[in-house]
Amino acid sequence: MRFTKMQGAGNDYVYVNCFEETVEDPAAAAVAVSHRHYGVGSDGLVLICPSDAADVKMRMFNADGSEGIMCGNAIRCVGKYAWDHGLVSSTRITVETLGGIKTLDMETEDGKVIRACVDMGIPKVVSEVPEPITVLGEEKEFVGISVGNPHAVYFCQDIDSLDLEKIGPSYENHSRFPGRVNSEFVQVIDRDHIRMRVWERGSGETWACGTGATASAVASMLRGYTQDQVTVSLKGGDLVITWDRESGHAFMAGPAVEVFSGEIHI
């Protein structure tokens, strides 16, 4: 199977061009390629496929083989791949996902995409007023936001001290969330800047999460902590989230980088 390794703000996936390749069992392939020691090493697998409804279709699978609904960092890389490899002829494209069709506007330099802005759609506010929850015997509060996939946003004083490898699974698999949940831990720096760490369902802690950054930014705006445009700093870099309250749409801008290409037998 031929593949291309790409990353957006450190959120790395293995991408397969399914205009040319066939992946018979993408769930098993995701587990195989994602392993950091025995595979390529990634947060999951993304298939770039033909679409009857958009320019291309994205299917993304987490490192544990479960299929995800949407990934903001991955979709920017899908846009980059589609442009750089001649699958599309415009820098404004549409991408079909399980979370709906998303529109991307891409910025190029020397004929290659370096950055993309994604219309993430209208975030669904599940619990604007912080909802109480008990995790590992401690009382917490979260703001629930769906950006195609579910997010629970927790505001913290110090995100660096969190041992996510230890506590993350308890947040992800809490009985409050029967379908599991992505958990964001957010530290507000000022009205233009927040920091975030994320525990993603099916992948654990990742260096970035585009839908999580969007959910965290919108939660911060709803709580009055920030302006309606905010920089979200993650382990892998910065994303800029803008929320247009009039239309309800949230927009995410950030980098997209091709790392290398290769071939793997699985």
Q: Which has the closest alpha carbon to 47: 39, 56, 55? A: 56
CA distance 176 to 17: 37
CA distance 47 to 235: 25
Which one of the listed residues 49, 77, 117, 209 is annotated catalytic? Answer: 209
DSSP string, 53-110: SSSEEEEEEETTSPEES--HHHHHHHHHHHHHTTS-S-SEEEEEETTEEEEEEEEEET
Q: Please state, as a whole number, how many other Cβ atoms lie within 10 Å of the Cβ of residue 118.
A: 27
Please, what is the end-to-end C-alpha distance for the chain in angstroms?
A: 8
CA distance 79 to 253: 12
Residue 49 annotated in active site: no
Which one of the listed residues 71, 77, 117, 156 is annotated catalytic? Answer: 71
Residue 71 annotated in active site: yes
Six-digit token pair at 209?
A: 């999460």
Q: What angle, rounded to 10 degrees, do the helices at 72-84 and 210-222 form?
A: 130
**Residues acting as catalytic residues:** 71, 209
